[in-house]
Amino acid sequence: MRTLRQRLPEWLTPWALVAFLGGLGALYVAPLVLGTGAYLHNLMGLTFMFVAGALAWNWVGGYVGQISFGHAAMFGVGGFVSARILLATGMPFVVGWIVGGLVAGLFALLWGHPTLRLRGPYFAIATIGVGEATRLIMTYWEPFTGGASGVSLPIQGGVNKYSLYWYGLYFMAAAVAVSYYLRKSRIGLGLLAIKSDVEAAGDVGVSATYYQDLMLFLSGTFVGIAGAFYASYFSFIEPGDMFGFQRSISFVLMTVIGGIGTILGPALGAVIFVILQEFLIASYPELYLGMYGGLIILIILFEPLGLSGLLVRIARRAGYRPRGQVAGGGVGSAAAGGPAATSEAETTPHMVEEKT
């Protein structure tokens, strides 16, 4: 074990690596071992995509601390760019996904770089504007998005729905790995400094603009890939759904309900979101807006850290004491937000703006 720890980069603990590989392996073989039916199998694949998307949203919402109500814009851009590329060329679909993602990432950078100068609610509302403007313009741009009729992807070129499970799994694994790296590495330290006091951070050499842009680009790219996945999964996309406000809301919902600023949070939130969508909405379709709204209200009032925060509180009552610092340069302390809060720190929810 000692040789392993020495060989790993300072931000990666052996435990984390083991947990990651273990989880990945388990999910990899699960369908083969458990013999899940087609419905559950496909649903899980879709869930993996949502987890990745929620984690990516969190890079801006939680790590940078700016709530975006407009992520559907990247979701849609990724989806349509990927769909168009796959239709026009015979490229393997993964390439289409990545290209779609990168275009979405650049798009995020385009509108996000100037608007990230805004603080808090102003940025949030600007994102509503961006999302809606994108939707309107894209719906109007029929040659690209097909207008109300949308774009259909013939099922071809190796994208059979069965294998999407594993592609979704890799995608989610990548998002988890990136989330972990961003939080534990020196980038995570810098992000926390920016959240604490953006000016003081600048006075010590941390360029807020650079890191915000980086987060925006990464977030946009991954959410774009999610959109591309979605397109391949359903073989049909239309702008109202892809760019819609509902779509943007879903990212906010997943992460807030699960817990902003953590890794477990968005994952939990995404799973719950899918469950709610599939089962409750099938039974009570006329109540789902109210349920989401009610859930958000309850979370904000009683447990701003989301469900993952609730779980941590329960775990602490049961005696679980979080591990202390990671040796060396990693960000091990509680202040990184989320589950492992030390007793010294006030559990300030990461949604709380610490900038003045």
Partner 1 sequence: MTALVEGRGVSKHFGGLKAVDDVDFHLDEGEILGLIGPNGAGKTTLFSVAASSMPPTAGEILLDGEVVSGHPPHHAVRKGICRTHQIVRPFTNLTVRENVLVGRHYGTKLSQRRGHDDAKDTDELLEFVRLTPRAQALPGSLTLAGRKRVELARALATQPRVLLLDEVIAGLNPTEAQMLVGLIREIRDRGVSIIMIEHVMHAVMGVSDRVMVLDHGQKIAEGSPTEVAHNPQVIEAYLGKDEVALPPTEQEQA
Partner 2 sequence: MDQFLSLVVSAVLLAGLYAAMAYGLGLIYGVLRIVNLAHGGVIMAGAYTTWVLFTRFGIDPYLAIPIVVPLAFLFGVALYKGLVRFLPRGAAGGVQSLLLLFGVWLVMQNVAYLLFSGNDQAIRTSYSTRGLSLLGVIIPLNRLVVFVIGLLTLAVLHVLLTRTYFGKAIRAVAQNPDSCTLVGIDVERIYTVTFALGTALAGLAGLLLSTLFAFNPSAGAVELLKSFVIVVLGGLGSVVGIALGALVLATVEVFSILVLPSFLTSAVGFVLLVLVLVFRPGGLFGQRVLS
At residue 238, φ and ψ (nearest 5 deg) are -140, 150
Report d(CA 217, CA 235) in Å as an integer.
Answer: 26
Q: Does 284 interact with partner 2 (rule: CB under 8 A)?
A: no
Binding mask 204-223 for partner 1 (x = CB under 8 A): xxxx-x--------------
For Cα atoms 57, 61, 63, give the angle at the middle one, nearest 5 degrees.
100
Identity of the residue, 77 or 208, whose beta carbon is nearer to partner 1 in the bound complex: 208
- Best CA proximity match to 229, nearest among 81, 69, 40: 81
Binding mask 63-82 for partner 2 (x = CB under 8 A): --x-x---------------
Q: Does 324 interact with partner 2 (rule: CB under 8 A)?
A: no
Instruction: Identify the three-state secondary structure at position 330.
Output: coil
- Best CA proximity match to 206, nearest among 189, 218, 219: 189
Of 28-67, which residues contact partner 2 (CB under 8 A)?
65, 67
Q: How many residues form the binding site for partner 2 (CB under 8 A)?
A: 49
Look up residue 279 and give its DSSP letter. Answer: I
CB of 356 to partner 2, least distance (A): 6
Q: Does 286 interact with partner 2 (rule: CB under 8 A)?
A: yes
Question: Which residue in 102, 177, 296, 310 binds partner 2 (CB under 8 A)?
Answer: 296
Identity of the residue, 119 or 161, whose beta carbon is nearer to partner 1 in the bound complex: 119
Identity of the residue, 134 or 333, whose beta carbon is nearer to partner 1 in the bound complex: 333
DSSP letters spanning 70-121: -THHHHHHHHHHHHHHHHHS---HHHHHHHHHHHHHHHHHHHHHHHTTS-HH
Report d(CA 19, CA 283) in Å as an integer.
Answer: 36
Q: How many residues form the binding site for partner 1 (CB under 8 A)?
A: 31
Binding site for partner 2 (CB under 8 A): 65, 67, 111, 114-115, 117-122, 124-126, 128-130, 132-133, 136-137, 139-140, 245, 249, 252, 256, 286-297, 300-301, 304, 349, 351-356
